[in-house]
């Protein structure tokens, strides 16, 4: 069995962060041919599931760059390489020193064994942060609490931020010097010279999660699609890897081949040709 992994933003999704009609129809054709596919994204389960709903993503999903695995059939959640209390404190302090609001993403509490997505954050300071709360964290299933309410037994998957590019680059540099952390960044879709930043434990990566699912599902080959730094770990382990034309130069160099732009349904066009859909 060949197993396909899709990154979402900048890859399977268009510029509106949606699955286009053409891509939706292509996924249906893959399903009809019994070609297995799923997602490997840096997004949280909360933000990704609203996009994936109704698109036949039945196999386990990789979220938070490998920290979270969600099996939609079994309704089972697996967490790995969570951030420790000390690591969380380091990230929060770094953000606050630079005048940036840290958004701490946690899955329930260890003592209660629940799967609710809880977002803890300090007071928003910039318009981009306020829009982030209104646009992405306003879902009914999201629980938003003040940073001071963060309990010691929280299962923190990642910490995200958004801000001016120069400030975010400084934070990115500082956090990537930490021995147990890895920070990914990119230009925000909101524009205006804004960048997003996502911080995880250094052992959390898509590649390890992809290999775990490959073994679990009994796949013989892995094909993956991605456009960012967080996709390099799965590119290194996949049998085939493809970068859309909008990907970073480093990602293009690491890929088996470069295909069409994500906003022009590049992945879907490639799949139709490759599998004669």
What is residue 113's predicted lDDT score, i.e. its pLDDT?
Answer: 56
CATH architecture of 85-201: 2-Layer Sandwich (3.30)
> 25-63 burial by CB neighbour count: b if 16+ within 10 A, else e?
ebbeebeeeebbbbbbbbbbbbbbbebbeebebebbbbb
CATH superfamily of 2-80+204-274: HAD superfamily/HAD-like (3.40.50.1000)
Burial class of residue 109 (count of CB atoms within 10 Å of its CB; 0-12, 13-18, 19+)? middle
**The pLDDT value given to residue 127:** 83
pLDDT at 187: 82
3-state secondary structure of 266: helix
Task: Give pLDDT tens digits along the chain (277 positions).
Answer: 999 999 999 999 999 999 999 999 999 999 999 999 999 999 999 889 889 999 999 999 999 999 999 999 999 999 999 999 999 999 999 999 999 999 999 997 655 556 788 999 998 888 888 887 777 666 667 788 999 999 888 899 999 999 999 999 999 999 999 999 999 988 876 667 899 999 999 999 999 999 999 999 999 999 999 999 999 999 999 999 999 999 999 999 999 999 999 999 999 999 999 999 9
The distance from CA 198 to its chain's CA centroid, rounded to whole angstroms, is 9
**Residue ranges of the domains in the chain?**
2-80+204-274, 85-201
DSSP-derived letter for residue 174 is H
Question: Of 67, 61, 73, whose CA–CA distance to 5 is shortest?
Answer: 61
Which H/E stretch holds residue 170?
helix 165-175
The pLDDT value recorded for residue 190 is 61
Nearest Cα to Cα of residue 62 among 231, 260, 250: 231
**Is 168:197 a contact under the CB 8 Å cutoff?**
yes
* Residue 117, phi then psi, degrees to nearest 5: -85, 120
CB 183 within 8 A of CB 201: no
pTM for the whole thing? 0.92
């Amino acid at each position: 069995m060949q197993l396909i992994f899709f990154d979402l933003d900048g890859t399977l999704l268009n510029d509106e962060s949606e699955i286009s009609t053409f891509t939706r129809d292509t996924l249906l054709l893959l399903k009809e041919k019994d070609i297995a596919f799923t997602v490997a994204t840096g997004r949280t389960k909360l933000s990704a599931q609203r996009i994936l709903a109704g698109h036949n993503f039945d196999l386990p999903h990789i979220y938070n760059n490998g920290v979270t695995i969600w099996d939609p059939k079994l309704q089972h959640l697996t967490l790995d390489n969570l951030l420790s209390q000390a690591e969380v404190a380091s990230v929060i302090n770094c953000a606050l020193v630079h005048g940036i609001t840290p958004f701490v993403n946690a899955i329930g509490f260890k003592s209660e064994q629940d799967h609710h997505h809880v977002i803890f954050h300090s007071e928003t300071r910039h318009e981009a942060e306020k829009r982030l709360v209104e646009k992405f964290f306003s879902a009914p299933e999201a629980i938003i609490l003040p940073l001071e309410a963060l309990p010691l037994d929280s299962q923190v998957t990642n910490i995200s931020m958004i801000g001016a590019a120069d400030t975010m680059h400084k934070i990115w540099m500082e956090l990537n010097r930490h021995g147990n952390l890895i920070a990914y960044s990119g230009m925000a879709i909101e524009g205006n010279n804004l960048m997003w930043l996502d911080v995880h434990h250094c052992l959390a990566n898509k590649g390890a999660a992809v290999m775990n699912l490959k073994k679990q599902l009994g796949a013989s080959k892995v094909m993956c699609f991605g456009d960012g730094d967080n996709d390099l770990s799965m590119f290194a382990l996949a049998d085939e890897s493809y970068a859309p034309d909008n990907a970073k130069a480093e990602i293009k160099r690491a890929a088996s081949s470069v295909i069409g732009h994500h906003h022009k349904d590049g992945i879907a066009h490639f799949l139709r040709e490759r599998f004669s859909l």
